[in-house]
Amino acid sequence: MKGKIIIISAPSGCGKSTIINAILAKGELDLMFSISATNRPPRQGETDGVNYYFLSDDEFRGAIERDEFVEYEEVYPGRYYGTLKREISRIVDEGHNVILDIDVKGGVNVKKLYGPEALSIFILPPSVEALRDRLESRGTETAEWIEKRVERAELEIGYSGRFDRSVINDDLSKAVAEVETLMKDFIG
Ligand code: 5GP
């Protein structure tokens, strides 16, 4: 039996990772996280083969040339991220469901590729202003980068109509419950 594919995309600062981690921590729905490849360096606390497969620029280019990706994107200038074909098949061929945390364009592309085998969910901030507040209170970005992320978020929100479903992350526990219900209904 083959597993199903769940795509979660959102602009930066919408709580996407928090929602995904909360659902994975519950351990229901036989879900496994798809580990992407990237050429960005690991952050402190990140491990190769757990958070990402960390590749050099050459290794990433080689994987593109060998057609090893389902999709890949240059999410930030010079920073590539991609979903490996073997990562998806490793999980779904064993009958597990796979969850993908990928950028908005990647989300649209994977949905196009897998059609009814995939459910795509877009996480929205309650408003662009709320997103700006959240990024400011997180305190991890300079004012200049907050503006860049907000600008990019406005552009990305324009893609929400191309996803199967969207969920507004106004209240975290409600958003987690809503995403989980959508997944349960889809997986059956
Ligand atoms: P970060 O560097 O913060 O881990 O991730 C930056 C962005 O890259 C996030 O929006 C994340 O969802 C996206 N991303 C991670 N893996 C992939 C992937 O395999 N494909 C695409 N298209 N985006 C990805």
| Nearest atom in ligand 1 to 16's CA | 12
Nearest-CA residue for ligand 1 atom 7 is 103
pTM greater than 0.85:
yes
Residue 140, pLDDT score: 75
Nearest-CA residue for ligand 1 atom 20 is 82
Q: How far is the CA of 76 from the centre of ligand 1 (A)?
A: 9
Task: Output the DSSP codes for 61-78.
Answer: HHHHHTT-EEEEEEEETT
Nearest-CA residue for ligand 1 atom 19 is 82
76-94 residue pLDDT tens = 889 999 999 999 999 999 9
2-14 residue pLDDT tens = 899 999 999 877 8
Binding site membership of 73 for ligand 1 (Cβ less than 6 Å): yes
Binding site membership of 156 for ligand 1 (Cβ less than 6 Å): no
Binding site membership of 75 for ligand 1 (Cβ less than 6 Å): yes
Residues 6+ apart with CB under 8 A from 29: 23, 97, 180, 183, 184, 187
Q: Residue-wise over 11-39: b if at least 16 C-beta within 10 A, else e? A: bbbbbbeebbebbeeeeebebbbbbbbbb
41-74 residue pLDDT tens = 998 889 999 999 999 999 999 999 999 999 999 9
Binding site membership of 81 for ligand 1 (Cβ less than 6 Å): yes
